[in-house]
Structure 1
Amino acid sequence: MTATGLADTFGPDERDVLRTLFDTIIPADEATPGGWDGGVARLLDEHLQDFMSWARPSLFHALSDLEKAGFSHAASSHAARERLISSLPQETLGALLRIAYEGYYAGTSAPAGWATTGFKPVPLGVSPLDPDPAASIRPEHVRSHYDVVVVGAGAGGVVAARELAAAGREVLLVERGANHRNSELRGNHLQGKRAELYQVTAGAGEGDLRILENQDGTTTTLAGNGSGQAYGLNAMTVGGGTRLWQGMAWRFYPEDFAMASTYGVPPDSTLADWPFGYDELAPYYDQIEQQLGVSGDAASAMATRTPRTGPYPMPALPDDMARAQFGKAAARLGWDTSPIPFAINSVPRNGRAACVRCAQCVGHSCPVDAKNGTQNTFLPRALATGRCSLLTDARVTEILHDGKGRATGARIVFRRGNTSPPEELQVTADALVIASGAIETPRLLLTSGLGNDWVGRNHHSHGIAMASALGGPNVKTPDGPGHSVATVQFVHGQHKIWGGGVMFDLPAPYPLLKAQVGQFASPPVRFGQAHKTWMRDSRVFPGALSMVQEIPHAAARVSLDTQRTDTLGMPVARLRGTPHPASVEAAEYMASRCREWVQELGGESIFTMAAPGAPQGAEHSAGTARLGADPHSSACDPTGRLWHTSNVYVADASLHPTNGGFNPGLTVMANAMRVAQLMQEERR
């Protein structure tokens, strides 16, 4: 370990005290080292000068308080040291536990706590693959003109680019994120997509800000190199969210396209029907499932509620204990259950392996490339046409247009290195497709002076409802992909509360989350030998999660901040809004249903959570350039074309008037394919 942060901050005696302190919080045993050598020292040494800098004041306070209390790393017994640590101010103790847990159970790669808990990110005998990423051109190789510029290489953008290139159009696909290798996007539980803590690897990065309007009138600056959860938890890399998703590949139900007609429009809501129904999107769902690769059971209770022309291209992932036991509990309640459809190979397909059930599917790239995203399916096909070029680490900062509704091209800004000044190039284009996500898409449209007053409005995501037990039967294992079984008993139908939402089993927690949960056990196990024993021996207790249909609030909006710009000079997004009371009602109702399921399963000491969508959005953000038949109530027409323009289209979740009671990835891709094909029909 190269001494940087620790040696520059603490003297030798102080470091000895810190070693003893963290070895008391997490003691060594015959199998694994204590906290200091097990990951804490490495984390602090490598990152005390950057994302762990918050810990320095707490460490100094702890050293001072322990010295006053007579803490001696040489003479005190272990029990005496534990008592002294317990006597520290709660704020200081809380910070020390956070440091210990993050270093020992998360870290940036393979800390000792993984072995303590039996966590294996890759199954024994599996050699991880690291395929070469898709070829990206250099800025100097960008041509002056393209038929279409597609902005954003995520779920929608890549599908649209592939459709257009296959139809003969010359396409430039521009992605702001890096062209990461798979190995860069797994195994880091602090900076990975689902760590949500620090400088997320596939996040926005330093200099990219957002402004959040708080309910009390104040504002908060959200840093792109800070917490991924606070910023919005959007993956920014080639493949977008499909690169790091868990791959749940649901179709929306027919009722999801007619929410206003089905339930009425509550006051202060922007709830509206889609301008078309399920039947319009069904053939595109069929194509996406085949071309992406989805594993599922077309005869299941869930799938039969969405008419389809044939089976899934692959069988459902194998049965497991969770599916069996949750299924039996649901049956006793009179509920049907089904295997979850996943965009994951259940059998080898298209030259890529079947799922090996790694323990870190969600938020990480697949160790054997069995997880299907646009980066390893639609993108290679787009590039293989010879008519699609991928440009990464580049930002479209403005759509150029003639002021009369016709776009003429795009201004693209890039850097040749982290310290290099930004450079600019301009390309002309016959049409543009914007697929940057439900915050960045309206930001670009507004910056460019395009669109009507509905651009940025109707921002919503999903509510989350959850019930988790701290005791009960051992029905879960750490094996991936994490979820296994679902019920759609409360998606519309007779048990409807604003559309409800799908429910499924909670995955086994990653070691860091398990350590945090231990503080709520009975009795609490916060540190010391009791904590380490609990981490090693406790079961994976059951839990259930619901993706709850969110009712968009009239106050929820993405706009431009008039005072702040990012490092490229582009106005930053300003976010505001509160959850609609209907969303709160739906989330609370579904939390009760989750609790009912876990209780029937035998869960003990159950706690529930109901969280309607947040104004800063999340990975399921939607609605900010919604489709509609009337420009007075929508931002885009039914084909995805921005109202009052002739050649600017949107092809991401911004188009969704409502976002269903399911993960929306499959719907984003199906609608993007539809938009691209309609573009071609209009061109003819």
Structure 2
Amino acid sequence: MRTAEPGSDDERWLRLVTSAELRTAVDRVVPADAWPGGWKGGVGAYLSDGDPEPRWALPALERLVDDLTRRGFAALPAQDQDAALREVAAHETLGADLDALVRLCWEGYYASRRSAGDPAHAATWPVGLSMLGFRDLPPGTSPVELDLPTTVAADRLRDHYDAVVVGSGPGGGVAAQTLAEAGHSVLVVERAPLLPNAGLRGDHLHGKRNAVYRSPAGPGPGHPRLTVHESEDGRLHETLVDGDDAWAYGLNAYALGGGTRLWQGMAWRFFPEDFAMASVYGNPDGATLADWPVGYDELEPYYTRAEWELGVSGEEGPLTGRTRRSKGYPMPPMGGEPARDALTSAAGRLGWAAGALPLAINSVPASGRPACVRCSSCVGHACPVDAKNGSHNTFLPRALATGNVDLLVDAEVTVVHDGPGGASVEVMTGCSGDAVARTVRADVVVVSAGAVESARLLLASGLGNAHLGRHLHDHRFVSLRCEVDTPLKNGLGPGHSVGTLDHVHAQTIPWGGGVLVDLMSVLPLTSASDPGVGVPRWGLAHKEWMRDRRPYAFGAFGMGQEIPSATSAVTLADVTDRWGRPGARLRKSTHPASLEVEAGLAEHGTRWLEAAGARGVHRHRGAATASAAGEHSCGTARMSDDPATGATDRYGRLWGSSRVVVCDSSLHPTNGSVNPTLTIVANAMRVAEHLRDSWPA
């Protein structure tokens, strides 16, 4: 580490990382045994290489080191050092300081990372990953990079396009392809910069799902939100959230291809009942359940197209028998694993049906791209061999191949104008200090920025009726942890492998229930930070658990219906983004019916695990604060045949506007009992086709 000015933060940090007390404490948090201790195993390099991100802990580590110095900590025998750290851990203030050190030890010892988060640098591979036998890619596998598309410079934009599509995720990608193939000129505006797959993977500290620091999948600074929480006494409390906090901000990825660039790929169809929730279940007090204006039968041909045009691997059988299908899957299911075998057998003993999950991942070579290599870092990371299917490598390339599409990245639409003679958008590019504003006219603007950002953009543009932004909801999630006698998750991807739909629209769980699947393998950093019940938080026993018992950790995951409530909504906040436009204000209320769904998922997930021989099954509640934006948010521009009950018509046309069409999850009146992406694609195909066939004069 270079020298620093006396009294500066650099000098204070240098003094810390060269202190005997800090180094000794690191080696008690991760003691040496047959494998190196923490300092030599990666923590020393992590704290000394100039990366600014760990510096958040500077005050805490200074207080801790001061206390340890007073104790003569570095000269104590190892057992007395451990006793001193246990005493520190029990202290009200110093305990939190020790927590900061422990967190940095796990980041340095168990996390693959790139220098200062720079995608251009090779990932660091600390000793902890080698100790665990963790491998990111199978031996002999070489990464295959995504063919990055040609983009248009801001100063080369046309004044007019037939359509401007805001967002490049599954809805925007489908719309761009459909309109471009019909001969229309299309501008796709994507907020994220253009990054290769290598810039969106290989880093356990910055992956979108597991980020502990700013993720390259954004959105980054300059995009604040206000989240509203209701206390037990009924008071509302607002919290300012910036784009650096992935969990609090929301897990939607900002990248070319949107969430499908980094998802795990579960590609389920909704059930017929999902399109008629209000009719099937009624509407409990305070809820805003509504039927879709379209049903399963109308969407079925589009589901089939979505599976074939996106590329889904799956099998017809226990998980498909309850929904009519006009065609099978284009690819066989992903290969099996011990978890699938164990839970399929357990389901049979319970009288349930289980099977391989449908995944939008190449199980065999397809579309000129290879099959999945089952890397250990799938969800939240880009695919190392481009086998994971999404808008970025299916719909968008087909749209661009027509020659009718301009793709503008690292730019934002800030305002949408609509009128009987045409529409237009205000586009901002560049940094806020040297930003360039451009007005682009269009026959139609297609808004596909996700349930939160689509609503925010349209509200900030002064468009929409009273339902725009309302009915925000997601899914309910339940995570169950346990131990098994034989390792069932071998660390290979893509993650979830087996599921049962026996508690979807069944008598076992109210309000439509949900799907149960195996819990995916988690990254070593996640295990270290949140080990099993009764595992010490640090020390030799923690290291031994990581090395010897971690493979025996197992679990199940439940995802079910979230009942939209009258008070959950996206509105405009009194904070502004880097362009001076209002940010989103998110209020999310949990309806009691949603908690009934959670309880049912937990009950039957526990039964499933116990039937598989699991011990110590318990519901796990993570420490991270869930975001009101969630991961599967929807409903904020819900479709309806009547403007009195929805924000758009059945074809996504914004009520009160003649040339603005919404084409993403915002349209979903309800979110089903399973992952929504295949439904987003299928419905986008239907919406985009209607737009193509009824082009405004």
TM-score with structure 2 setting the length: 0.93
* 1:73-112 deviation digits (Å, cap 9, x = unpaired): xx33322222222211332222221121122112524332
Mapped partners of 1:123, 1:617: distance in 2 = 35
Candidates 98, 105, 121, aligned match of 1:100: 105
Q: How does 1:164-313 map to 2 (within 5 A)?
A: 164-215=179-230, 216-225=235-244, 227-298=245-316, 300-313=317-330
Candidates 620, 624, 637, aligned match of 1:625: 637
Mapped partners of 2:178, 2:654: distance in 1 = 19
Match of 1:86 in 2: 86
1:56 is the counterpart of 2:58 = yes
Deviation at 1:620, TM superposition (A): 0.4
Candidates 562, 582, 591, aligned match of 1:571: 582
In structure 2, relative to structure 1, the CA distance for the partners of 1:610 and 1:55 (3 Å cut) is closer
1:68 is the counterpart of 2:81 = no
* 1:490-509 deviation digits (Å, cap 9, x = unpaired): 00033241111111000112
Match of 1:339 in 2: 356
The letter for the 1-side match of 2:471 is: N
Q: How does 1:495-506 map to 2 (within 5 A)?
A: 495-506=508-519
Mapped partners of 2:595, 2:483: distance in 1 = 25
Q: Which runs of 5+ in 2 are unaligned?
A: 114-122
1:676 is the counterpart of 2:680 = no
Q: Is the 1:491–1:499 Cα contact (8 Å) retained in structure 2?
A: yes
Percent of pairs identical after alignment? 46
Q: Is the 1:578–1:615 Cα contact (8 Å) retained in structure 2?
A: no
Deviation at 1:401, TM superposition (A): 2.6
The letter for the 1-side match of 2:678 is: L
Residue 191 of structure 2 aligns to a residue whose secondary structure is coil
Deviation at 1:598, TM superposition (A): 1.1
Mapped partners of 2:3, 2:510: distance in 1 = 57
Residue 606 of structure 1 aligns to a residue whose secondary structure is strand
Residue 566 of structure 2 aligns to a residue whose secondary structure is coil
Q: How does 1:126-165 map to 2 (within 5 A)?
A: 126-165=141-180
Residue 263 of structure 2 aligns to a residue whose secondary structure is coil
RMSD: 2.0
Q: Is the 1:463–1:610 Cα contact (8 Å) retained in structure 2?
A: no
In structure 2, relative to structure 1, the CA distance for the partners of 1:2 and 1:476 (3 Å cut) is farther
1:44 is the counterpart of 2:57 = no
What count of residue pairs does the alignment treat as equivalent? 671
In structure 2, relative to structure 1, the CA distance for the partners of 1:598 and 1:7 (3 Å cut) is farther
* 1:461-509 deviation digits (Å, cap 9, x = unpaired): 0110121104543222101111110000100033241111111000112
Mapped partners of 1:18, 1:594: distance in 2 = 44
Mapped partners of 1:467, 1:414: distance in 2 = 45
Match of 2:116 in 1: none
Q: Is the 1:468–1:598 Cα contact (8 Å) retained in structure 2?
A: no
Deviation at 1:8, TM superposition (A): 5.0
Mapped partners of 2:281, 2:611: distance in 1 = 30
Candidates 325, 332, 338, aligned match of 1:321: 338
Residue 670 of structure 1 aligns to a residue whose secondary structure is helix
In structure 2, relative to structure 1, the CA distance for the partners of 1:6 and 1:470 (3 Å cut) is farther
1:462 is the counterpart of 2:475 = yes
* 1:603-639 deviation digits (Å, cap 9, x = unpaired): 1122114799966221201000000111001000001
The letter for the 2-side match of 1:76 is: L
Deviation at 1:131, TM superposition (A): 2.7
Deviation at 1:47, TM superposition (A): 6.6
Deviates more, 1:500-509 or 1:93-102: 93-102
Q: Is the 1:460–1:615 Cα contact (8 Å) retained in structure 2?
A: no
In structure 2, relative to structure 1, the CA distance for the partners of 1:406 and 1:335 (3 Å cut) is farther
The letter for the 2-side match of 1:424 is: A
Match of 2:542 in 1: 531
TM-score with structure 1 setting the length: 0.95
Deviates more, 1:174-183 or 1:100-109: 100-109
Candidates 609, 613, 616, aligned match of 1:602: 613
Q: Which runs of 5+ in 1 are unaligned?
A: none
Deviation at 1:2, TM superposition (A): 6.4
Q: Is the 2:112–2:202 Cα contact (8 Å) retained in structure 1?
A: no
1:425 is the counterpart of 2:438 = yes
1:398 is the counterpart of 2:409 = no
In structure 2, relative to structure 1, the CA distance for the partners of 1:497 and 1:613 (3 Å cut) is farther
In structure 2, relative to structure 1, the CA distance for the partners of 1:413 and 1:120 (3 Å cut) is same
Deviation at 1:187, TM superposition (A): 1.1
Mapped partners of 1:576, 1:124: distance in 2 = 47
The letter for the 1-side match of 2:568 is: A
1:447 is the counterpart of 2:460 = yes
Deviation at 1:383, TM superposition (A): 0.3
Mapped partners of 2:159, 2:600: distance in 1 = 55
Mapped partners of 1:96, 1:155: distance in 2 = 41
Match of 2:117 in 1: none
1:28 is the counterpart of 2:32 = yes
